[in-house]
Amino acid sequence: MWPRRLSTAALAASALALAACGSGTQVNPATYTCAQFKKSLRTNGDNTSGNFINKLRKQANLGQPKQIEVREISFGVYFACRGKPGSTRPAAKAIATAKAVKAGTYKPAPGPAKKKKSTK
């Protein structure tokens, strides 16, 4: 029974990987927003976030293996959208962040300050 589960998991993982490789609805990276990105991640069968990352990866032309480029662009989109309104367009900032990560010069902005608890 164990080999069957392993092969089923491998098949499901490869199907998910192929689903995000550029098939489906195409996006314009210049107009794609953080709200659309987050909605795509939450929606089953919506692969526009994967298309967005792939297009940004091609625009950035980082010259690294695909897997590393996808991670760096995803990291850039995350930090470009973190704490911002849904109408924010993360493309330019995500590419700049990915290039800074590649160069080793990226320092993430500190998160929101922790609230102090009352000692009453």
Give the mean pLDDT of 67-93.
Answer: 92
CA pair distance 72, 45, nearest whole angstrom: 24
pLDDT score of 103 more than 80: yes
Angle, helices 66-81 vs 91-103, to 10°: value is 120
Residue type, 98: A
pLDDT band at residue 24 under the 50/70/90 scheme: low
Tokens 């490869």 locate to 14
Residue type, 79: F
pLDDT score, position 118: 74
Whole-model pTM: value is 0.70
What are the tens digits of pLDDT across the range 7-17? Answer: 444 433 433 44
CA pair distance 67, 85, nearest whole angstrom: 28
pLDDT score, position 106: 87
pLDDT score, position 55: 94
**Structural tokens at position 54:** 């792939």
